[in-house]
Amino acid sequence: MIIDVPELALVALVGISGSGKSTFAGQHWKPTQVLSSDFFRGLVADDENDQSASADAFEVLHYVAGKRLAAGRLTVVDATNLQSHARAGLIKTAREHDVLPVAIVLDVPESVAWERTQGRPDRTFDRRVLTRMHRDLRRTLGQLAKEGFRKIHVLRGVDEIAAAEIRYEKLF
């Protein structure tokens, strides 16, 4: 599956924990192109899992995204992006820099994500958290277009995610 992305875009990865966002980002972009919420939580709170640091972490993430977009650099946001207020912040940042907001949704079965989570020492939440995320994802799928995402790519299942290829579109 070819995913068309404008050569300058703010790309929001969207998916439940364990859907493979960070893995996907690592496969398709340079580390410096990817701003991950974990990294910024670590930066402001010395703990990538400190959810109480999220507000500060996203403030800094948006600031860095803005600097990158102002310099004409494609920027990928690796966070679950399952809440409309979180996505609204990204849309706002993209608009401020006259850049297209693009969503790439990694839609894997909850059971697959849960199984993967069992092998991760850095993820200790219980199943209900994942169930809630999965419900939020279903709702998100119906909201992305009206929120302002200009391109929405939904990769359904592990095989589609593995087969995805990014193709860059020239802006002019």
- Footprint on this chain of Mg ion (rule: CB under 5 A): 21-22
Is the CB of 38 or the CB of 148 nearer to Mg ion? 38
Residue showing the smallest CB distance to Mg ion in the complex: 22
Determine if 134 is a binding residue for ligand GTP (CB under 6 A): no
Residue 57 tokens read as 């972490």
Residue with tokens 């095989």: 159
Determine if 150 is a binding residue for ligand GTP (CB under 6 A): no
DSSP label at residue 143 = T
Is the CB of 21 or the CB of 151 nearer to ligand GTP? 21
Amino acid at position 35, single letter: L
Residue 88 tokens read as 């609204």
Please state, as a whole number, how many other Cβ atoms lie within 10 Å of the Cβ of residue 111. 11
What does 19 bind: Mg ion, ligand GTP, none (CB cut-off 5 to 8 Å by kind)? ligand GTP
CA angle 88/94/97 to nearest 5° reads 140
The C-alpha atoms of residue 149 and residue 151 are separated, in whole angstroms, by: 6
Determine if 18 is a binding residue for ligand GTP (CB under 6 A): yes
Determine if 164 is a binding residue for ligand GTP (CB under 6 A): no
Give helix then strand counts, H and E, for the chain.
Answer: 8, 7
φ, ψ at 77 (rounded to 5°) = -105, 115
Q: Give the contact letters, 51-80, x = binds to ligand GTP (CB under 6 A), - = no.
A: -----------------------------x
Determine if 89 is a binding residue for ligand GTP (CB under 6 A): no
Neighbouring-strand partners of residue 14: 105
Determine if 166 is a binding residue for ligand GTP (CB under 6 A): no
Q: Out of 116, 148, 150, 154, point to the residue binding ligand GTP (CB under 6 A).
A: 116
List residues binding ligand GTP (CB under 6 A). 15, 17-23, 80, 116, 119-120, 123, 158, 162
